[in-house]
């Protein structure tokens, strides 16, 4: 694309700058074609047909009243992701709201919501007392909610139903426990369950 010329200047004569001015209009038209409807379209002119975000090498600084949308390589997914950032809510790096991962081997995944909330989910097994640590990136600072749905709740030797007790440990991990008070002996019995967590 041709360069934009800072012309005419105060001392320039029109006959010396006419070609430069025409070149500027060509540059504007060439730039407009990128992610815009044609400027001569009588209905949709001025509207965007898409948006491309160049990759940034550093997270931008955001003014107190601004919200910024940008493209950055996520350290966990190692892919380019769209980030949203506002002062005081999302931290230095902002929130990569297009980032997600699914670990098919360990049956768990995660994604961010644009608000900054981190959601994780999975399929796991509790056997006695099982502590689910915050070992996998991205990491929680605080868990707000844990949801658990057993696939099939096992019964003990007395045919009592075994319950899953959920407790949040220090705000960043959660513990599942098969309820020993409702069973007599079968301490090795396990329970498969789906789980979801929401936090920051």
pLDDT digits (tens, 9 = 90+) for 160-198: 445 566 777 777 877 766 654 444 444 556 677 888 889
Q: What is the DSSP string of 56-111?
A: ESSPPP--TT-EEEEEEE-TTT-SEEEEEEETTTSTTT-EETT-EEEETTTTEEEE
Q: How far is CA 104 from the centre of its chain?
A: 19
**Distance set, CA 12 to CA 3, 15, 19, 24 (Å):** 18, 9, 12, 16
Q: Which helix (H) or strand (E) holds 27?
A: helix 14-32
* CATH architecture, domain defined by 101-200: Sandwich (2.60)
Which residues of the chain, if any, have pLDDT below 70? 1-2, 41, 88-92, 127-131, 133, 135, 152-165, 176-190
- pTM (whole model) above 0.95: no
What digits encode the pLDDT tens for the residues 149-158? 877 655 554 4
Domain ranges for the chain, please list them.
1-52, 54-98, 101-200
- Helix then strand then coil, % of the chain, to nearest 5: 10, 40, 50
């Amino acid at each position: 694309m041709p360069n934009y010329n800072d012309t005419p200047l105060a001392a320039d004569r029109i006959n010396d700058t006419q070609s430069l001015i025409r070149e500027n209009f060509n540059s504007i038209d060439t730039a407009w074609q990128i992610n815009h409807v044609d400027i001569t379209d009588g209905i949709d002119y001025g509207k965007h047909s898409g948006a491309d975000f160049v990759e940034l090498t550093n997270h931008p600084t955001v003014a107190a009243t601004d919200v910024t949308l940008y493209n950055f390589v996520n350290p966990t997914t190692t892919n380019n992701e769209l980030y949203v950032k506002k002062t005081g809510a999302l931290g230095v790096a902002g929130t990569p709201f297009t980032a997600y991962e699914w670990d098919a081997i360990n049956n768990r995944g995660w994604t961010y919501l644009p608000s900054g909330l981190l959601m994780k989910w999975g399929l796991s097994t509790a056997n006695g007392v099982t502590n689910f640590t915050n070992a996998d990136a991205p990491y929680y600072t605080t868990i707000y909610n844990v949801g658990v749905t057993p696939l099939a709740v096992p019964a003990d030797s007395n045919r009592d139903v075994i319950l899953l007790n959920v407790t949040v440990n220090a705000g960043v991990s959660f513990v599942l426990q098969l309820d020993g008070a409702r069973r007599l002996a079968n301490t090795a019995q396990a329970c498969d369950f789906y789980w979801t967590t929401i936090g920051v």
